[in-house]
């Protein structure tokens, strides 16, 4: 446990010094600031006002950027350490593979989750400065959804970078997974549904299995309880699950998948050659 | 017996890289391991350190399996890799990793560094990979020598050192506790001749020569 925390701590320190971390923080923090400066937060669009409107745009951006950011930086760091023999050196010291793997995971998680979370807090602070009632419940639930979105992609990144030995192949695989998941959010699903070639059940199942779609539906349902903005699949899910269970599912499902993927990655880390 | 490799075979993608390797390292052995590039020297060392799952055979280091008991095994081995890894941690952080994971005292590392004319105290916040090649190698050597090990493994340790650094390094080696065994992978037998008492020659994944000198 002592070594696990040590490795997590050192990973955080290493990330804090890296360029990707700054780009990442600036992107999310900057976006949030931009929304407020440009007055997105003041306009009334489609019935959304103030902070809700800002958060809604923030969600859309998060859906696209967060997964790929987590995948690329994590895969690069984990596979890169192996290819550059950093792993060989670090693991020639008496730390258990358990401590190393989960320590890395903990460290990485902190560095990918914190900037997004802080950007959200920044939004809240801006919102407070402008006055008005803050939607605390929404902010809390939204943080929880961000947490689980970050977690599932981190798990995926650890899975890919331990299963696939080469950095390039692992990066390529990350891109493919990301594109496929993005393609299968509501719009593409709706297309499938309209074509009538696949049954609605298949479409719904695809939607429920896709962590990006699950996050999207969950997050948007916080702002638009009727989900009028995002189409029939989401609407169907809301109708079947009810809004509470929808949020619970949107929070729990990605965590379960993230745990599963990172655990398989851990088994591979222990059972396969380390280098 | 410190380390034993018995009939060890390991293939990468269908190519046998270790072919029935037998190797025994005893206390007090100072081994120079030589052989052409690709002979399998690094691979056998990595197998001893528990990095590879061998296809067949058996490996014991201090009586234990380096994969199943990796923490215990690695407590007593110091290892210097072939090329200094581009570790992004600062020196300070690297030292704290080494210190906490392996119970090495920082003072000892400073001491060993000073003896190689490596001034650490003024660059503790510098990332390790930004040091010059020779400085990196010296720091790795200082760490390895500070660890209380009974087996030191050096995979071509002097490849990056200037002649003066090499001289200093060999000077340090003469002071290693005689009960501690060493395994050098090297291309320059002439340089370490006085320091070794056994030489092993590998080629095509096999030990082709193993003799005391
Ligand atoms: N992780 C690996 N995956 C695939 N092939 C490897 C791996 N490590 C080493 N090899 C191959 O095994 C052979 C022996 O390599 P190595 O033990 O590094 O030789 P050397 O004696 O020069 O240290 C080389 O042909 C190398 O390409
Ligand atoms: Mg080698």
Structure-block tokens of residue B147: 């660890």
Q: What are the DSSP calls for A74-117, one per residue?
A: HHHHHHHHHHTTHHHHHTTSS--HHHHHHHHHHHHHHHHHHHHH
Q: Is B37 in the pocket of ligand 1 (CB under 6 A)?
A: yes
Residue A147 DSSP SS3: helix
Q: How far apart are CA B78 and CA B73, in angstroms?
A: 10
Q: Do the beta carbons of residue B175 and residue B147 sit within 8 Å?
A: no
Complex ipTM more than 0.90, yes or no: yes
CB contact under 8 A, A96 and B71: yes
Check residue B195 and report its DSSP letter.
Answer: G
Q: In a mutational test of the pocket of ligand 1, which residue from B43, B81, B154 has the highest number of ligand atoms less than 8 Å from its CB?
A: B43
Higher pLDDT, A47 or B55: B55
**Mean per-residue pLDDT over chain B, rounded:** 91
Residue B85 phi, psi (nearest 5): -70, 145
Q: How far apart are CA B75 and CA B148, in angstroms?
A: 8
Q: Directed axis angle between helix A136-163 and helix A211-223, to 10°?
A: 170
Distance, CA B198 to ligand 2 centroid (Å)?
A: 19
Residue A271 Cα distances to A68, A163, A173, A267, A275, angstroms: 28, 11, 22, 6, 12
Residue A93 phi, psi (nearest 5): -100, 155
Q: How far apart are CA A157 and CA B161, in angstroms?
A: 38
Task: Single out the residue of A54, A180, A59 nearest to residue A129, CA to CA.
Answer: A54
- Percentage of residues in chain A having pLDDT higher than 90: 48
> How close B135 gets to chain A, by Cα (Å)?
16
CB contact under 8 A, B83 and A85: yes
Q: Is B41 in the pocket of ligand 1 (CB under 6 A)?
A: yes
User: Chain A to chain B, count of Cβ pairs less than 8 Å apart?
Assistant: 79
pLDDT 10s digits, A12-51? 999 998 888 888 888 888 887 777 676 655 554 444 556 6
Higher pLDDT, B179 or A210: A210
CB contact under 8 A, A91 and B100: no
Domains and CATH numbers, chain B: 3-86+150-212 (3.40.50.300)
pLDDT at A28: 86
Query: For residue B106, what pLDDT band results from cuts at 50, 70 and 90?
Result: very high
pLDDT at A42: 56
Structure-block tokens of residue A156: 């995926």
| Nearest-CA residue for atom 9 of ligand 1 | B43
pLDDT 10s digits, A151-173? 999 999 999 999 998 999 999 99
Report which bound ligand comes closest to the CA of B15: 1
DSSP E strands in A125-185: the ranges are: none
pLDDT at B78: 95
pLDDT 10s digits, A171-215? 999 999 999 898 877 667 667 667 767 777 777 888 889 999 899
Any idea which residue has 């929304």 for tokens?
Answer: A35
Can you give the pTM of this predicted structure? 0.93
Query: For residue A1, what pLDDT band results from cuts at 50, 70 and 90?
Result: confident
Report which bound ligand comes closest to the CA of B38: 1
Distance, CA B44 to ligand 1 centroid (Å)?
A: 10
Task: Single out the residue of A182, A180, A188, A164 nearest to residue A261, CA to CA.
Answer: A164
Residue of B nearest to A16 (CA): B89
CB contact under 8 A, B85 and A84: yes
β-partners of residue B3 are B25, B61
Report which bound ligand comes closest to the CA of B53: 1
Helical spans, DSSP H, in chain B: 41-48, 70-75, 91-102, 106-115, 133-146, 163-173, 189-192
Q: Is B160 in the pocket of ligand 1 (CB under 6 A)?
A: no
């Amino acid at each position: 446990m002592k070594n696990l925390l040590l490795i997590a701590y050192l990973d955080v320190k290493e990330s804090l010094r890296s360029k990707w971390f700054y780009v990442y923080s600036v992107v999310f923090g900057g976006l949030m600031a931009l929304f407020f400066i440009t007055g997105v937060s003041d306009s009334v669009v489609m019935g959304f006002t103030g902070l809700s409107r800002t958060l809604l745009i923030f969600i859309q951006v998060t859906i696209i950027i967060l997964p790929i950011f987590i995948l690329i930086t994590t895969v690069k760091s984990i596979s890169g350490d192996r290819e550059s023999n950093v792993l060989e050196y670090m693991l020639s010291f008496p730390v258990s593979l358990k401590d190393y793997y989960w320590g890395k995971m903990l460290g990485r998680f902190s560095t990918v989750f914190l900037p997004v979370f802080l950007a959200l807090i920044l939004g809240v602070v801006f919102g407070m400065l402008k006055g008005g009632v803050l939607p605390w419940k929404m902010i809390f639930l939204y943080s929880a959804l961000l947490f689980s979105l970050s977690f599932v992609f981190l798990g995926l990144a650890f899975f890919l970078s331990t299963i696939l030995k080469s950095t390039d192949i692992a990066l390529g695989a990350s891109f493919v997974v990301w594109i496929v998941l993005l393609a299968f959010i509501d719009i593409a699903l709706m297309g499938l549904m309209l074509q009538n070639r696949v049954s609605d059940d298949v479409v719904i199942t695809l939607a429920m299995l896709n962590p990006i779609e699950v996050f999207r539906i969950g997050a948007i349902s916080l702002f638009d309880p009727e989900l009028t903005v995002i189409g029939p699949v989401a609407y169907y899910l809301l109708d079947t699950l009810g809004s509470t269970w929808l949020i619970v599912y949107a929070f729990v499902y990605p965590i379960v998948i993230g745990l599963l993927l990172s655990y398989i990655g851990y088994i591979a880390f222990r059972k396969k050659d380390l280098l | 017996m410190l380390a034993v490799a018995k009939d060890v075979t390991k293939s990468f993608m269908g190519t046998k890289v270790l072919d029935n390797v037998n190797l025994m390292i005893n206390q007090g052995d100072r081994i120079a391991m030589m052989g052409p590039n690709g002979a399998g020297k690094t691979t056998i060392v990595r197998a001893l350190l528990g990095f590879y799952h061998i296809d067949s055979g058996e490996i014991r280091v201090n009586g234990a399996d380096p994969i199943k008991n990796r923490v215990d095994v690695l407590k007593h081995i110091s290892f210097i890799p072939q090329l200094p890894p581009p570790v992004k941690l600062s020196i300070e952080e690297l030292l704290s990793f080494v210190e906490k994971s392996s119970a090495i005292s920082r003072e000892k590392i400073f001491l060993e560094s000073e003896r190689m004319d490596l001034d650490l105290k003024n660059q503790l916040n510098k990332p390790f990979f930004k040091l010059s090649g020779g400085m990196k190698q010296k720091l790795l050597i200082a760490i390895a020598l500070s660890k209380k090990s009974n087996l030191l493994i050096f995979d071509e340790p002097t490849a990056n050192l200037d002649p003066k650094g090499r001289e200093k390094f060999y000077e340090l080696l003469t002071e290693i506790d005689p009960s501690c065994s060493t395994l050098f992978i090297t291309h320059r037998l002439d340089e370490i001749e006085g320091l070794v008492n056994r030489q092993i020659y590998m080629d095509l994944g096999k030990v082709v020569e193993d003799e005391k000198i």
